[in-house]
Amino acid sequence: MKKSVVGMLALTAMAAAMGSAFAQEAAKAAPAMTAAEKEQAKKIYFERCAGCHGVLRKGATGKNLEPHWSKKDKDGNVTEGGTLKLGQQRLEKIIGYGTDGGMVNFDDILTKEEITLMSKYIQNTPDVPPEYSFKDTMDSWKVIVPVDQRPKKQMNNFNLNNMFSVTLRDTGEVALIDGDTKEIRSIVKTGYAVHISRLSASGRYVYVIGRDGRLSLIDLWMEKPAVVAEVKIGFDARSVDTSKFKGFEDKYAVAGSYWPPQFVIMDGDTLKPRKVVSTRGMTVDGEYHPEPRVASIVASFIKPEWVINIKETGQILLVDYSDIENLKTTTVGSAKFLHDGGWDASKRYFLVAANASNKIAAVDTKTGKLAALVDTAKIPHPGRGANFVHPKFGPVWATGHLGADVVTLISTPSDDKKYAKYKEYNWKVVQEMKHVPGNLFVKTHPKSKHFWADAPQNPDKDLAESVAVWDMADLSKPKAILNVAKDSGLPPTKAVKRAVHPEYSADGKEVWISLWGGKTDQSAVVVYDDATLKVKKVITDPKMITPTGKFNVYNTQHDIY
């Protein structure tokens, strides 16, 4: 017995030594970098890579970028890989030229020297960032204009319903553009690379959150809309929403962090932090994950509840905000890795992409249970998705794909008796409309007869600079492919001007497309007439630098898409 124990201890020691030896060998194999090079690479990684690959580089929408990784399949077979295995030359090609899975080519974004630097950096062991506590959050909180000093009524003559909040990604700003006159009414300094803008239930306040974790509150009632409060909720963030249920309008806001993995509940009119909740825990597969990021948040209209989607764990949290001191949360298991999503037309069901699992998860917010897990083509990426009534299959919700050449239509339930005959199709993929890979956003409007889809992540320059438009009466093929870069009239450039994020005006008569060029290129927002598909206006300005997401106040306030 003693010999057996000694033998087991010896084997354990040997295994540990082998593991240690491998770690030492891996460390030796990693390219040497100076402290200055690491700092430069760390900044580039945060700005360009962390969103898809994770701060710890464990992957989600993007691949795992750890120097070495191994995983078991369901049969116990072990697969090994890592950036060290790929090597410097291969990594430089991948970063430079992109991939078919939706990663863009960085050869027109980064210099050759920066691509070499990043290839070295991701072969080194990832740094673990510090935590960010409730005290850190409180210390960052600023009220710039107290509530009692703000206007008691709207002090400008803007049509706020048709105002657009436009992200100027690389300058850390949003441009507030008048949808009626197409004039830039205000450019507001915010966090870096604002991911989304969301509206308070009243439509008065715009909440914008940057990739650097900075949440800014903009008051649209001011003579010149400006930031009235701000707070930093973490080091890396993407999502924010407000309380929209009757009786809680404008009362609370909630923002989700990528790092640290947590969400923060705040007072809606001042952003004063009230509670920080960690999202670390077990995945739907029963494994602990150290970096389960908050991917997307939406506010229910039928309950005092937020739907908070946790990327790496595949858990959907239904957070009851009626009593935030005694917070109640329902956890709904779905699939990894959760990303963006939107409501169906009834606003009862929330559909979210588990994009690395090639599924759409639908949660029934009325019952608090998973309604369906729908298999789709590769890497669904809906943004908010799009709702319309299909001529053959009734109410459907649509998602595009980063990794497949289709737009997927999924039948959704309805309590309206006139749609009862379509019940047999519910939660099934009823059609795949032919498109191209690299799609990020699809969009339509209740008053439109058209359906729009971009393809900014496609490796082909012409396709990345174009959008496809379908006629609802014939979804077999696009009615038109519009080259937004050419339609803009801007001088052609070698770098890609990516056409991204179709957004409708409040009345559904116009579609706004961002033309996202490089920092040194002139960018624009191109406005199309939805009926004729002709250009109505090209909004351009020296201050219009790298526009990406656009959020119409009325459509965003009421979740119309």
d(CA 458, CA 521): 20
Smallest CA-to-CA distance from 411 within 392, 387, 427 is with 427
Q: According to the 3-state scheme, what is the secondary structure of 90-144? A: HHHHHHHHCCCCCCCCCCCCCCHHHHHHHHHHCCCCCCCCCCCCHHHHHHHCEEC
DSSP class of 419: G
- Nearest 5 degrees, angle CA 300-CA 309-CA 66? 165
Q: Where are the beta strands (DSSP E) in 436-518?
A: 442-443, 450-454, 466-471, 480-483, 498-504, 510-516
Q: Rounded to the nearest 10 degrees, how much is the dihedral formed by the CA atoms of 445, 446, 447, 453?
A: 30
The greatest distance separating any two alpha carbons of the chain, rounded to the nearest whole angstrom, comes to: 88
In the residue annotation, 8 being an active-site residue is answered as no
Distances from the Cα of 175 to the Cαs of 143, 356, 489, 536, in angstroms?
Answer: 21, 33, 21, 19
Among 68, 289, 339, 450, the active-site one is: 339
Among 68, 381, 401, 501, the active-site one is: 381
Distances from the Cα of 298 to the Cαs of 6, 69, 450, in angstroms?
Answer: 57, 34, 26
| Distance linking the first and last C-alpha atoms of the chain | 69
In the residue annotation, 282 being an active-site residue is answered as no
Among 49, 118, 163, 544, the active-site one is: 49
DSSP class of 492: P
* Structure-token match 């961002």, residue found: 514
Read off φ and ψ for residue 520, nearest 5 degrees.
Answer: -95, -5
Give DSSP secondary structure letters for 377-416: SSSB--TT-EEEEETTTEEEEEE-BSSSSEEEEEE---S-
Asked if 465 and 497 touch (Cβ cutoff 8 Å), the reply is: yes
Smallest CA-to-CA distance from 545 within 303, 286, 142, 192 is with 192
- Nearest 5 degrees, angle CA 451-CA 60-CA 406? 25
In the residue annotation, 501 being an active-site residue is answered as no
Among 68, 103, 195, 289, the active-site one is: 103
In the residue annotation, 18 being an active-site residue is answered as no
Catalytic residue numbers, as ranges: 49, 52-53, 103, 339, 381
